[in-house]
Structure 1
Amino acid sequence: IDALMRHRFGRKSEQLDADQFELALEEVEAALSQAELAMNKASKAPCERPRKTNRGALPAHLERIEQTVDIEEKACPCCGGALHQIGEDVAERLDVVPTTFRVLVTRRPRYGCRSCENAVVQAPAPARIVEGGIPTEALIAQVLVSKYADHLPLYRQAQIYARQGIQLDRSTLADWVGRAAWYLRPLRDHILERLRRSERLFADETTAPVLEPGRRKTKTGQIWAYACDDRPWGGSAPPMVAYVYAGDRKTERPEAHLHGFAGILQVDGYGAYAALGRRHQQIRLAFCWAHVRRKFYELAESSPVAADVLRRIASLYAIEDEIRGLSADERRDVRDQRSRPIVDDLYRFLEARGRQVSAKSRLGEA
Structure 2
Amino acid sequence: MREKLDIVPAQFRVLVTRRPKYACRACEEVVVQAPAPARLIEGGIPTEATVAQVLVSKYADHLPLYRQAQIYTRQGIDLDRSTLADWVGRAAWHLRPVHQRLLEHLKASSKLFADETTAPVLDPGRGKTKTGQLWAYARDDRPWQGADPPGVVYVYAPDRKSERPMAHLNSFVGVLQVDGYIGYRALAAGNSVSLAFCWSHVHRRFYELAAAGPAPIASEALRRIAEFYEIEDDIRGLTHEERRAVRQDKSRPIIDSLAPWLTEQLSLISQKTKLAEAIRYTISRWDGLIRFIDDGRIEIDSNTVERSIRPIALNRKNALFAGSDAGAEHWATIASLIETAKLNDVEPLAYLTDVITKIVNGHPNSQLDDLLPWAYAEKPETKPVA
TM superposition score normalised by structure 2:
0.69
1:275-316 superposed Cα distances (whole Å, 9 cap, x missing partner): 2111x3111111011111111111113322111111111000
Equivalent residue, structure 2, for 1:328: 240
Contact 2:166 2:186 in 1 (8 A): no
Q: For structure 2, which runs of at least 5 residues remain unmatched after alignment?
A: 279-386
1:161-214 superposed Cα distances (whole Å, 9 cap, x missing partner): 000111111111111111111111111111111111111101110001111234
Residues in 2 aligned to 1:123 and 1:288: alpha-carbon distance in whole angstroms: 60
- Secondary structure of the corresponding residue to residue 300 of structure 1: helix
Contact 2:139 2:150 in 1 (8 A): yes
1:8-30 superposed Cα distances (whole Å, 9 cap, x missing partner): xxxxxxxxxxxxxxxxxxxxxxx
Equivalent residue, structure 1, for 2:223: 311
- Secondary structure of the corresponding residue to residue 355 of structure 1: helix
The change in CA–CA distance for 1:344 and 1:122 in structure 2 (over 3 A counts) is same
Q: Higher mean Cα deviation, 345-354 or 175-184?
A: 345-354
Residues in 1 aligned to 2:196 and 2:244: alpha-carbon distance in whole angstroms: 15
Residues in 2 aligned to 1:99 and 1:215: alpha-carbon distance in whole angstroms: 41
Q: State the Cα distance separating 1:358 from its structure 2 match.
A: 4.2
Q: For structure 1, which runs of at least 5 residues remain unmatched after alignment?
A: 1-89
Equivalent residue, structure 1, for 2:50: 139
Equivalent residue, structure 2, for 1:290: 200
Q: State the Cα distance separating 1:359 from its structure 2 match.
A: 4.2
Equivalent residue, structure 1, for 2:65: 154
Does residue 103 of structure 2 align to residue 199 of structure 1? no
In the alignment of these two chains, the number of paired residues is: 276
Q: State the Cα distance separating 1:234 from its structure 2 match.
A: 1.8
Q: State the Cα distance separating 1:104 from its structure 2 match.
A: 0.9
Does residue 202 of structure 2 align to residue 266 of structure 1? no
Equivalent residue, structure 2, for 1:363: 275
Q: Higher mean Cα deviation, 102-111 or 139-148?
A: 102-111
Does residue 34 of structure 2 align to residue 119 of structure 1? no
2:191 to 276, 281, 305: 281
1:165 to 60, 73, 76: 76
The change in CA–CA distance for 1:116 and 1:213 in structure 2 (over 3 A counts) is farther
Q: Higher mean Cα deviation, 171-180 or 154-163?
A: 171-180
Residues in 2 aligned to 1:170 and 1:322: alpha-carbon distance in whole angstroms: 50
Residues in 2 aligned to 1:260 and 1:354: alpha-carbon distance in whole angstroms: 40
Does residue 258 of structure 2 align to residue 349 of structure 1? no
Q: Which amino acid aligns with 1:347?
A: A
Q: State the Cα distance separating 1:91 from its structure 2 match.
A: 2.2
Equivalent residue, structure 2, for 1:213: 124
Residues in 1 aligned to 2:153 and 2:101: alpha-carbon distance in whole angstroms: 9
Residues in 2 aligned to 1:276 and 1:356: alpha-carbon distance in whole angstroms: 35
Residues in 2 aligned to 1:257 and 1:117: alpha-carbon distance in whole angstroms: 60
Q: State the Cα distance separating 1:246 from its structure 2 match.
A: 0.7
Q: Superposition RMSD on alpha carbons, in Å?
A: 1.4
Residues in 1 aligned to 2:269 and 2:21: alpha-carbon distance in whole angstroms: 85
Does residue 90 of structure 2 align to residue 179 of structure 1? yes
Equivalent residue, structure 2, for 1:59: none
The change in CA–CA distance for 1:139 and 1:276 in structure 2 (over 3 A counts) is same
1:242-278 superposed Cα distances (whole Å, 9 cap, x missing partner): 1111111111110111111111110001111112111
- Secondary structure of the corresponding residue to residue 268 of structure 2: coil
Residues in 2 aligned to 1:211 and 1:321: alpha-carbon distance in whole angstroms: 43
Residues in 2 aligned to 1:360 and 1:179: alpha-carbon distance in whole angstroms: 54
The change in CA–CA distance for 1:275 and 1:356 in structure 2 (over 3 A counts) is farther
Contact 2:99 2:153 in 1 (8 A): yes
Equivalent residue, structure 1, for 2:347: none
Q: Which amino acid aligns with 1:102?
A: R
Residues in 2 aligned to 1:288 and 1:364: alpha-carbon distance in whole angstroms: 19
Residues in 2 aligned to 1:197 and 1:168: alpha-carbon distance in whole angstroms: 42
Equivalent residue, structure 2, for 1:9: none
Percent identity of equivalent pairs: 67
Contact 2:110 2:175 in 1 (8 A): yes
Does residue 113 of structure 2 align to residue 234 of structure 1? no
Q: Which amino acid aligns with 2:184?
A: Y
Q: Greater share of helix residues, 1 or 2? A: 2
1:100 to 1, 4, 11: 11
